[in-house]
Structure 1
Amino acid sequence: MNEGLAPGGKRSAGWARAGKGCAGKAGQDTPVRGRGGERGRVGVNGGLTLLPWLLMGMGAFSNILQGKTPNPAVGIVGLLIFNSLYISVVFRAFHRQAREAASTRWSLVAMGLVTCGLALAYGGSWLTFFPLLGLATGAVLRGRVLGVTVLGLSALGGAIAAYHDGWGAAGVVYGTFLSGMVTAAILALSETVRELRDTRQELARAAVEQERLRFSRDLHDLLGHTLSVIVVKSEAARRLAPRDMDAALAQVADIESVGRQALVEIREAVTGYREASLAGELDRARGALTAAGIGPVVRQSGTPLPPQAAALLGWVVRESVTNVIRHSGATGCEIEVRGSAERVRLVITDDGHGGVGSAPPGSGPTGGGSTVAGGSAAGSLAGSGLTGLAERLAAAGGTLVSGPAPDGRGFRVTAELPVDEDTVPTEGEGR
C-alpha cells in the first residue's frame, strides 16, 4: 500500500494518468514541454510569421536596382539597417522580458528615425516602411502607450507622404494605423490563449496532486484504525483461545466483520464518496477501546450536526482513538462532543503516557505531544495523521489542538469546528 503513495513509485505514475478524471484532457499522461523550450519555439515561429511583411519594401529595393534612387549607396545602407532592426524587434516581441527590454525600445526608436529619414529623402515606395514600422510597434508595445505611439506614427507618416504625394498620404496613414493596432490585438490575444493554456495545465496538475493527497489521507485514516483494531482483537483471541474458545471465536468473527467493512470503506474512498459518520465512529471507538482493555466514556450533547461537520469530527475520533490504542498505554479514554448553534467542540482525553517519548519503539510519532492549530504543527513531533486532520479542519474554518492534558497526565486532542454547512468543505474540497 505504501508503494501506491510513493511520490516516485509506479503506482504514483498510475495516479498521474488517472488524474484525467478530475483534471480533464490536460491531466493525461503526456509529456509536458518545459516552459523555456516552449516559449523559445513560440518566439521563433512568431517572428517567422512577421518576416514576409518585409516584402513590402521590395518596391524600394527595385528602385535602387533600376537606378531611380539618388545616392543608391545611402539607400542600400538604410534598407539593410531597417531590415536588420525589424528582424531583431519582431523576434524579441514574443519574449516578454526581451520585448520590455530597453534595447528593444531603442531599436524601435532607431527604426523610426531610419524610416523618417528614408521617407523624407526618397518618398514614393519608401513610404511603405511606415506600415512596417507600425507593425513592429504593435508587436512590441502594449497598453495606452501603444495607441498614442501608433497615432503619432500614422500622423507623422501622413505628413511626410503628403509632402511627397499629396492625397496619397491617406493610404500611408491607414496602413500604418491598421498594421499597428491589428498586430497588437492579434499578439495580445495569442498571449492570452497561451496563458490560459498554461493555467489549465497548472490546475490539472494541482487537481491530480489534491486527489493524490486526499486518497493518501483516507488510506492513512482507514488502514491505521482498521489494522489497529484487527491487531487488538487478534491478540484478544489468542489470549482467550486456551480457556474460552467461544469468546475467542467471537473475537475472530469481529475481525472478519472489521475486515469486510474496511474493504467497503477502501472502495468508497477510492471513488471519493466515503464520509466518516460521527455516530458510527463513536460506536467503533467504544468497541475498539473495550477490546484493547481501555475503558471508554462517551458524552454527547447539543444540537444535531450537519453531515459534513459530523464527517470531519468522525475522522478526528477515528485518528485519535487509533493513537490511544497504539501509543498511550491508557486504561481509560473520555470522548466528549458539545455542540451549539454556532460551533461544535470535540475533546478526546486518555490517562496514558501523554507523549511520543513514552510510545513503544517503532510505533511512530502519530500520537505525539504537539500542538496543531489552523493547519500548522508547532515543532517536529506532529504525526501525519494529526497534521492532515488539522489541515482539513483549517480548510473548514476550524482548529485542532493536541498535546499533554493540562494536569500532566495523559494526552488530549481538542477539535473545534463551525457548524454552518456553508463553511464545511465537501469530500473533494480542502482535503
Structure 2
Amino acid sequence: MSQEECPAPATGPSVRMARMTPLLSGIWLFFLLEPIGEGWRHRDELSGVLGILCTVLFGAVYMALWLRSRADRQRLMTQPARRAAVLYVGSLVVLGALMTVLLGGYGLASTPYIGVACVMVFPFRVAATAVLALIVVDVVLFAVNDWGSSTGLVFGVVAASVAVLGLRMVMSRNIELLSAQQENASLAVENERTRFARDLHDILGHSLTVITVKAELAQRLFDVDPERARTEIADLERLSRDALADVRRAVEGYRELTLPGELTRARNALAAAEIEAHLPNSTDEVPTELRELFAWTVREGVTNVIRHSGARTCEVRLTPTSAEVRDDGTGSDTVHPGGSGLAGLRERAAGAGATVVVRHLSPGFSLEVVRA
C-alpha cells in the first residue's frame, strides 16, 4: 500500500475521549468496594474469599460488556446480538446471586449494574421489565432478611438505569444519523457512477460504431478503390482522435467542454424543463477544430432557451460548418444581442474564424455559429 493510500492516524480530543471511555465507565465500579470490603472482613472464611472472587469477576464481566458495547457503536450497531446479550446479562445475574448468597445484603450492590446492563443490551420493554424485577427482588430480600431499608438501593437501580437509557437513546440517534449520512454518501457515489457511465456511453457509443463501420469499409476498399480507402482511413483517424479527446475531457471532470457531452447535458436539461428536444444523434461530421466552439454554442443556446424562451420545442442542428439552436418560444425576444453570454461566444467564434448569427423567427429564436 502506498503512502497516499494509508489512512492518517486519527488524533484530537475525540480520540482521547474514546481512549478514556473504559476508564470513565470503570469509575462506577467504585460501588463494588463495599461487597469486596465485606468479603475482606471475612477473609478467613470460604464465603469471604469466594465473595471477593465473585465480585471481581462481576466487575470484569461488566467492563467487558461496556467494551463490547463501545465496539458495537463503532460498527454502528445499536445493540449486540441476542445470544451475546443474554450471555453477558446471564453471567452478571449468576455472579450477583452468588455475591448475595456469600456476602448477604452487600451482594445486592450488584443489582444497579445488572439493571444498567439490561438497558444497554435489551429492547426497552425487556429492559424495563428486568429493572422492575430487580427492584422487586431488592425490596423482598431486604424485607425478608431484615437488612434495613432498601430505598437507597432501589433509587440507585432506577437512577442508573434511567441515566443509561438516556445515554443509549442519544447514541442510537447518533448511529442513525451516521448511518443515514453513509447511505447518502453511497447513493451520491452510485449516482455519480451512473451519470458518468451514461455520459461516457453517449460520448463514445456512436463514435465507436462509426469507427468500426469505417474500418470495415476501408478494409473492403483496399483492393477496389485504394484512394477512397485512404480517405476513409484518414477520416477514421480523425474520429478516433476526437473520441479520445472527448473521453479525456470527461475523465478530467468536465473541466473542458465536449460536443457529445454538451448534447447529453442539453437533452437532460431540456427534459427537466419539459421542453421537447430534437438533437442530432451524431457529431462525426463536425471538424475537430470546431467541436469545442460548437459545444459552447449548444450550451449558450440551450441555456437561453430554458431561461428565457418559454418554448415547447428546441432543436439543435449541426453541419460541418455551422451549429444552430432554435426554439418556438416567445420569451427569447428578451435576450439582448449584447448579453455577456453571446459576447463571450462571439469572441470564441472570432478566434475560430466564425461568426455568430442571431435571428428572430416567427415564432421562435435562432442562435447560429457559422464558419464560411
TM-score, with structure 1 as normaliser: 0.43
The structure showing larger relative contact order (alpha-carbon pairs under 8 Å, at least 6 residues apart) is 1
Higher helix fraction: Structure 1 or Structure 2?
A: 2
